[in-house]
Amino acid sequence: MNTSSVAWYEELLKPTWAPPSWFFGPVWSVLYFFMAVSFVTVFYKVYKKELPRIVALPFILNFLFNISFTPLQFNLQNNYLVLASVVLILLTLIWAMLAIYRRIRWVALVNIPYLLWVIFALVLEINIVLLNK
Chain segment 3-29, per-residue pLDDT in tens: 777 788 889 999 999 999 889 999 999
Residues 12-71 have pLDDT tens digits of: 999 999 999 889 999 999 999 999 999 999 999 999 999 999 999 999 999 999 999 989
Number of other residues whose CB lies within 10 A of the CB of residue 42: 21
Domain membership flag for residue 56: yes
Domain membership flag for residue 51: yes
Dist CA 41 CA 24 (whole Å): 25
Residues 65-102 have pLDDT tens digits of: 999 998 988 888 889 999 999 999 999 999 999 999 99
Dist CA 71 CA 55 (whole Å): 27
Dist CA 83 CA 64 (whole Å): 15
Higher pLDDT, 1 or 111: 111
Domain membership flag for residue 98: yes
Prediction pTM value: 0.92
Q: Give 119's contacts (C-beta < 8 A, 6+ positions apart).
A: 90
SS3 62: helix
Domain membership flag for residue 72: yes
Number of structural domains the chain divides into: 1
Domain membership flag for residue 69: yes
Mean pLDDT of the chain, nearest integer: 94
Residues 106-130 have pLDDT tens digits of: 999 999 999 999 999 999 999 999 9
Q: Residue 98 sits in which domain range?
A: 24-131
Domain membership flag for residue 14: no
Q: How far is CA 68 from CA 49, 52, 76, 108, 110, in A?
A: 29, 26, 11, 23, 22
Domain membership flag for residue 113: yes
Higher pLDDT, 71 or 105: 105
Q: What integer pLDDT is reported at residue 6 of this predicted model? A: 78
Domain membership flag for residue 119: yes
